[in-house]
Amino acid sequence: MAQILDGKALALSIQAELTTRIQAWQIEYGRPPGLAVLMVGDNPASAAYVRNKARACEQVGIAALGQIFPAETEPAQLAQTIADLNHDSRVDGILLQLPLPQHLDAIALLEQIAPDKDADGLHPVNLGRLLRDEPGLRSCTPAGVMQLLKANNIPLEGKTAAVLGRSVLVGKPMAMMLLNANATPIMVHSRSKNLSELTRSADILVVAVGIPELVKGDQVKPGAAVVDVGINRIADPVTGLERLVGDVDFESVSPVARWITPVPGGVGPMTVATLLHNTVLSYRKRFKID
């Protein structure tokens, strides 16, 4: 059976280290790092994510300065809020919780966040810095995956890495991070031909498509590292109760792979840990902390 890549344990370790540092910095610099999470509407999944982020901030000592807006909020009001936060000296990171209601242009609003406060790493400036392999804030989920691979000493240099999914949130930055680590990334998507052939060629397989248990054991190279970014709610056919599953069929893949992430407890906690890390990076840059 595959070794479990325990994102929850690694995230707790990262948070413990951040807690110690933040306590010292607060005494020296007069305030803790601050993260503003903006949520629009009452999407239950988004609300749960925002609560988790606020709880994680509280645990490490980051000031959570979030705001919740009604679903009918106008773009101008959100734009003004972002502008105010850009100039707020208490705020080091700004995150606009997605998805937004249909009348709001997420791309236009994300572009209004100051790049050095872009805690989600999605501003075009930060994506450009990733492309050029320059220092900058990184997209949280793929950066969390890279941390998880590194912490478990999974070799990347010279390895073939297949990324299923080409979203700007995960797939595209994930492929670029792997390339910057000297892996050879293959982008696999809905128009790709011979999908199973491509996935079976991969030493590292990252799946982020949002389709429950899409990848089966016969689509995985024996000994591969399999990273499941997906999180889907499905109903148990017998009990009717909902449960969480990933985009990878854990039962059939885990006997084939050498390493695998569980769902939940794999990539999800690392996404939140990276969000905290990004906020701290912005704080350190502001105060010129090495």
Q: Is 120 in the active site?
A: yes
Q: Is 167 annotated in some ligand binding site?
A: yes
Q: Are 129 and 136 in contact (CB under 8 A)?
A: yes
Whole-angstrom distance, CA of residue 64 vs CA of residue 66:
6
End-to-end CA distance of the chain: 42
Whole-angstrom distance, CA of residue 168 vs CA of residue 136:
16
Q: Is 166 left (phi over 0), alpha (psi -120 to 50) or beta?
A: alpha
Whole-angstrom distance, CA of residue 132 vs CA of residue 185:
16
Q: Are 230 and 211 in contact (CB under 8 A)?
A: yes
Unique residue bearing structure tokens 């100039």:
87
Side-chain half-sphere of 174: how many Cα atoms within 13 Å?
31
Q: Is 154 annotated in some ligand binding site?
A: no
Measuring CA to CA, which residue among 245, 209, 208 is closest to residue 227?
208
Strand stretches in 167-236, DSSP E: 184-188, 204-207, 225-228, 232-235
Q: Is 219 in the active site?
A: no
Whole-angstrom distance, CA of residue 98 vs CA of residue 275:
14
Measuring CA to CA, which residue among 69, 65, 74, 124 is closest to residue 95?
65
Q: Is 231 annotated in some ligand binding site?
A: yes
Unique residue bearing structure tokens 């990733």:
130
Of the candidates 15, 92, 97, 117, the residue annotated as catalytic is 97
Q: Is 8 in the active site?
A: no
- Token code pair at residue 131: 């492309």
Of the candidates 92, 118, 120, 203, the residue annotated as catalytic is 120
Show binding-site residues for NADP(+).
Answer: 165-167, 231
Show binding-site residues.
Answer: 165-167, 231
Catalytic annotation, residues: 53, 97, 120
